Structure 1
């Protein structure tokens, strides 16, 4: 049963602890976001990205498979699909500071990832935000410049992209959607 709240935007991180398992729960500005578990193609992309990022990650950083909570401020609890952070910023259940947040778009999360989460990650000072669209085989790379995200690249299909932030990693979008 969902916690009752009478005030719009009145959900808190404590309310998340009372929710039943099986769905993904996030908060943006106290608004509860509920999404179903991801489908196979989503898992495939996340798995390929995890291996690629892990293999290129410097020792002082850590690449983590979500969901692991990121609580940048009161009323916000996000669960990025993948993330990179400094080792000291990773706790058992949450990360205190992100260098990279990765979201793989799906029909149920597309708008939230592109608009709402982008704004929260930007306000929190997350250096890089990647959005991957498996249907279009397209990676959008956003990087923080003077407190605002700028589009560093939009990479499609077989094009090669060499990310520089938060560390150097080459990737090809079409490789992320292929089955093994």
Structure 2
């Protein structure tokens, strides 16, 4: 896949093969390392605390990405 003149976009990001933790930062693709066991434990504790405090029909997760602009998306893909 070749980037446009302004770099990669979130549309390009979603077209990439699964299996890596891609992030898009200002049009540049990067591969993020996986979280450490400590990081994952803290994320689970926070998710559990939030889950206990939201209505029953809400879903709480810890592995979502955030699209900030058309050329920046942070988090695992």
TM-score between both structures, scaled by the size of structure 1: 0.34
In 2, Cα distance between equivalents of 1:5 and 1:46: 33
Three-state SS of the structure 1 residue aligned to 2:31 is: strand
Q: For the Cα contact (< 8 Å) 2:10–2:24, is it kept in 1?
A: yes
Higher Rg of the two aligned structures:
1
Runs of 5+ consecutive residues of structure 2 not aligned to the other structure: none
Q: For the Cα contact (< 8 Å) 1:23–1:37, is it kept in 2?
A: no
What is the number of equivalent residue pairs in this alignment? 75
Corresponding residue number in structure 2 for 1:70:
66
- More helix by proportion, 1 or 2? 2
Alignment of 1:123-162 (within 5 A): none
Three-state SS of the structure 2 residue aligned to 1:71 is: strand
Structure scoring higher RCO (CA < 8 A, sep ≥ 6) equals 2
Three-state SS of the structure 1 residue aligned to 2:40 is: helix
In 1, Cα distance between equivalents of 2:66 and 2:24: 10
Q: CA RMSD in A?
A: 2.7
Please state how far the C-alpha of 1:67 moved relative to its aligned partner: 2.6
